[in-house]
Amino acid sequence: MAGHDIVVIGASAGGVEALSILVSLLPADFPATVFVVLHIPAHSPSLLPQILDRKGPMPASHAVDGESIRPGRIFIAPPDFHLLLERGRIRLIKGPRENGHRPAIDPLFRSAALAYGSSVVGVILSGTLDDGSSGLQAIQERGGRTIVQDPEEALHAGMPRNAIEAVAVDHVLPVAGIAAELDRLARDVIQDSEGRPIPDDMDQENQMSAFDLDAIEDEDHPGRPSGFACPDCGGTLWERTDGELIQFRCRVGHAWTANGLVAEQTEGIETALWTALRALEERAALCNRVASRMEERGRTTSATRFREQAAESKQRAALLRRVLVTAPSRSVERGPETMPGPENDSTRPGQGVQDG
């Protein structure tokens, strides 16, 4: 009988370093298949397969749609595609973004739980916000095992810490301990690999990640209308609670965690404030220009009125500028992260690359 031979790993900021160490510690005869989602901007090249391929004994490559699942391999989600698993094969789907990401961690974890039940081991590594917590819970609900990197070791502790708070994970370990535990689990015989029954909402969530038209058009959305708008498309978000997790999904499938939605709204607020500042500065400049023209023509009353409007706009702009300058910094994970370059990767000369 097989062991826990499907390993799914989610990582974001700081994840390249953790992944590099992890794969270097896995043995050459590791009997499981490893699937990796690292958050990466949609239109950025990813050299993560080359990095992981040279770091450890297992061959690593970008996943290909329809490719067969084979043990002893590392498959990595390419940019701008969700990596999903079906029984025996890999799917790449350009489905709705989750927490602003494609590829996203939760779709991989959910699909693995559905297809492989208790054979799955889910691993969360370094990152911010709470991506992966929902997928980790899905793995646990189907009888799989769950591992989280020790937040004290992670370069960015947000994802590990949120996963620990949301899910009763099986192990919290440093990366070296994760590698040893994965090897043990992969060789541990499972009596019932089918796992626990599949919850209806988990199957529906997976179908929406896969951009299944029937699931998207189904009027029976899980949860209740939240009154909040989806940051991606402006549609209504349905809210549902799953244990400690609060989750949101819109009609067309965009999904958000509570932390992800707050972070995205924070960015939206800042954008709106900068737009308002620009509008006030332009209004002040226009009013001053009109006032100058009025003064040239001797229309002092009109000129005074426009000067007053310019001063009012300047005053409001100064207030907005103070708000923007003094706003507290926030941990919002959207930009690229630099992978190891030649200055910190001694195994191969080369250039820095962007993933994150």
Q: For residue 118, give the DSSP letter.
A: G
46 is catalytic: no
355 is catalytic: no
Question: What tokens does 114 get?
Answer: 């559905």
Strand partners for 83: 92
CA contacts within 13 A on the Cβ side of 19? 34
Catalytic residue among 5, 130, 131, 355: 131
Catalytic residue among 5, 20, 39, 156: 39
165 to each of 37, 90, 134, 159, how far by Cα in Å?
21, 31, 12, 10
188 is catalytic: no
Catalytic residue among 5, 12, 118, 130: 12
Question: What tokens does 194 get?
Answer: 């089918």
- DSSP-derived secondary structure for 23-73: HHHS-TT--SEEEEEE---TTS---HHHHHHHHSSS-EEE--TTPBP-TT-
16 to each of 60, 113, 180, 338, how far by Cα in Å?
14, 24, 19, 9
CA distance 309 to 307: 5
Positions marked active-site: 12, 39, 131
